[in-house]
Structure 1
């Protein structure tokens, strides 16, 4: 087998092995209709045959069970990822994770996969979009996939609870995320009606802290979500809990649902949005929209363009909360995407004048909600 040759790419990076001019032409045509996106930081190469020399940025695509069995060998260790393609499923082994999707897909899915990689989406999210891509999109005014009916389902997830999670308002309003009950009480006094208590470290008074915050929220007829500590939230009778994707394998979702608590789930892209929506939570958080220093994020900032697309896909299915690096300066732009709520952290906890900061945020929110009707 000859060594791979260098080919021109969609925008200087993405290419195919073996060389396929028709595939690249289709990918170019799709990419041209997807709008302005940053170029990828990784020079992906899609290999539908096994190259003699596997590079660290290669995504190896296997179509036979024999090739799939070989994927377990160390021969593929140098590749960025391995996709195993069957009639109704595609599994992507990327890093230490496996992403498995099921559903119908276009014959042009591989070209679409290349196009979405070129739009700076990571492989698991680009694969979701490629699954949802249809050739008819090229004839539409907006070629981006936004019809949830065409999006795949994630394979291997636990069943959702038999009892549905309690609902919450579609527009949760200004949503501060704060570190202790003192902050909860201060913001309640300023008229904030939706909050999240996110205690970063466990301590001996945690149970009392959560109970105190829940009681204060109840007195003010406010909606308080407890981050992570779902058992203590149930015990205290909280309005709801907020969990990350990593909590889905350990938290007892049926217990939370049976207790009548609302559930919010964090997401950081299309694949995690599919995972979250499978469980039909009370709301889905989309982030981080902008860079944030309040916690270590698993992905780069999503930005307003991605947030807009996420909202278009999910806005009629579940209440949505934008989170990550949001302050007064960007709040109007965030709400202009159509998202129903915006979570803030430093915009309140580091405000020089808390009362003035909250009033400004509330006013900006009300004005933009009014513009959307």
Structure 2
């Protein structure tokens, strides 16, 4: 409770996790079982995490690492942590963070006086590293993109790309999910040619091979794509890379891979795609920006429209991706002009 009181007001968590320092008689779905490798009893040592990880989460703790197994996924972290990391872990769970993100924050937790009065972990140097990523990391960083990408519409066709380019939009993403290969190839080529003509920055969602073939400015990938995409090939081709993230753990993964930008979301509820996590909200977004604003360009995404854009930009994020604010606008030129003006006004306020 001492740590929790430092962290401010947060909604009640959707899931009540139970931390178990010893193996419980009955393992429940929301149990997080903590195994200390250096202090396991002979009886407990017979219980490998794989035997009950399907029924609960398991944290295997050593002096150097903590590995969280949850829902069939392994989250291995290494880094310095304070003596009260476990209390901090419980506090961040109580703030509504899912276990992988709560564990990252617990590693980064330091007493408030060591953070100049700010209890929230925002010093990147205190955060842990995710193990096992070195083989995925390209030998050179991805090509850089502007720190302030500005208004960033995400649209489903080359025709939409062309319409927005004519209205002065300079950063766009083509996200075409259901087209056959030949049609998709033609759409990407058409969109890339239009963006090049307008000296704009066009990212292609998912289809990195076709993006390379067409000479696109960049590609945007989700975390689920990292196991199959050839990141070294993308980097060698000179394309920029944007990566989606949905919390602190995924941010650490993304930062290790040195992308051109990181997308933070979903900030608000969205109907344009199925999201793996609940909406992040403005408070979390502001903390994410505080942590990463000096590390990599940032894009807020998810449910952002004219009504909330000013609040989103007030967090310090340099770009905001929009979908329905563009595609469902009754007056497209007016919608684009209004959204663009919000970015100009925000820059004036910052300066």
With the shorter chain as reference, the TM-score category is over 0.9
How does 1:23-102 map onto structure 2 within 5 Å?
A: 28-64=1-37, 67=44, 69-72=46-49, 74=51, 77-79=54-56, 81-102=57-78
- The partner residue of 2:188 within 210, 226, 237 is 210
- 1 CA distance for matches of 2:256 and 2:350? 28
Q: TM-score, normalised by structure 2?
A: 0.95
Match of 1:358 in 2: 336
Structure 1: segments with no counterpart, 5+ residues:
1-27
Match of 2:175 in 1: 198
Instruction: Answer yes or no: is the 8 Å Cα contact 1:286–1:322 preserved in 2.
Output: yes
Q: Which moved more, 1:115-124 or 1:59-68?
A: 59-68
Q: Shift in Å at residue 122 of structure 1?
A: 0.2
- The partner residue of 2:81 within 105, 108, 113 is 105
Instruction: Answer yes or no: is the 8 Å Cα contact 1:71–1:82 preserved in 2.
Output: no
Instruction: Answer yes or no: is the 8 Å Cα contact 1:179–1:198 preserved in 2.
Output: yes
Instruction: Answer yes or no: is the 8 Å Cα contact 2:53–2:69 preserved in 1.
Output: no
Query: SS of 2:77's equivalent?
Result: strand
How does 1:1-373 map onto structure 2 within 5 Å?
A: 28-64=1-37, 67=44, 69-72=46-49, 74=51, 77-79=54-56, 81-137=57-113, 140-157=116-133, 158-203=135-180, 204-373=182-351
Q: Shift in Å at residue 75 of structure 1?
A: 5.1
- 2 CA distance for matches of 1:110 and 1:73? 22
Q: TM-score, normalised by structure 1?
A: 0.90
- 1 CA distance for matches of 2:69 and 2:268? 28
- 2 CA distance for matches of 1:224 and 1:69? 54
- 1 CA distance for matches of 2:50 and 2:257? 35
- 2 CA distance for matches of 1:333 and 1:162? 38
Instruction: Answer yes or no: is the 8 Å Cα contact 2:110–2:119 preserved in 1.
Output: no
- 2 CA distance for matches of 1:349 and 1:120? 33
Q: Shift in Å at residue 74 of structure 1?
A: 4.0
Structure 2: segments with no counterpart, 5+ residues:
none
- 1 CA distance for matches of 2:115 and 2:305? 38
Query: SS of 1:60's equivalent?
Result: strand
